[in-house]
Amino acid sequence: MVTGRRASRGDYYKALAAHLPPQALVVTSLGNASYLWASIHHAPSNFYFEDAMGLTLPLALGLALAQPKRPVIAVEGDGALLMHMGALVTIGAMNPANLTILLIQNGVHAASGGQALTNATLDLAQLARAAGIAHAENLAQPEALGKKIGQIEDRRGVGMLVLATEPDVEPIRPPVSLDPIATKQRFMAEIKAPRYVPTLFGGGRLEPE
């Protein structure tokens, strides 16, 4: 039990790892969102973003639609969400039941040095509900996250859990090199995605591995 302070990202990640659904695909945002998750639960089913702030949710939505039989969990930050608000509206419109968003609300742009958000106390769960995500709520304790993850299969429509979190500005060293090309290739093999072969003048082709 965490008392007297907001929980850390690591507290929530440990709860997620302990209750991760079978066959789940996990997409993490840049910086410590990826570094810490790799330290706690490195797996081929993880897609770690590097230097692509705000693109976690669009990729996770595409995965959820393309892999409807697998749970997809997206870990995004409050700052990145505010940069790419349109993604939330699109997710609300598509509403895939196998997609769960874990939104780290720490009130800062942690990956770029800890600059404060323009509105750090915005109720992001209420914002998500206004965008069409009915199953959106704020959580303050990691224990509650484990329970909610266990209820994914019973939920109709996308879910979003806003996690009140202490800022973690100091970079965490991941246990492996998070090379973007290696991440892509490993993840494509995990989901059995065909390889895209580009051509000089466009109109490339897909080839199975």
Per-residue pLDDT of 17-43, as tens digits, reads 999 999 999 999 988 899 999 999 999
Per-residue pLDDT of 77-96, as tens digits, reads 988 888 888 999 999 999 99
* Longest pairwise C-alpha distance within the chain: 60
Domain ranges of the chain: 9-207
Query: In the structure encoding, which two tokens stand for residue 166, read together?
Result: 């202490």
CB 163 within 8 A of CB 12: yes
Give which of 160, 26, 170 is closest to 102, Cα–Cα.
160
Chain centroid, CA 75 distance in Å = 2
Asked if the model's pLDDT at residue 143 lies above 80, the reply is yes
The number of beta carbons lying within 10 Å of the beta carbon of residue 178 is: 18
Q: Measured in Å, how far apart are the chain's first and last C-alpha atoms?
A: 46
Segment 107-113 shows an average pLDDT of 68
Q: What is the pTM of this model?
A: 0.88
- At 196 the three-state DSSP class reads strand
| CATH class of the domain whose range is 9-207 | alpha beta
Segment 85-110 shows an average pLDDT of 91
Segment 106-116 shows an average pLDDT of 70
Report pLDDT for 186: 94
Chain centroid, CA 9 distance in Å = 13
Report pLDDT for 2: 37
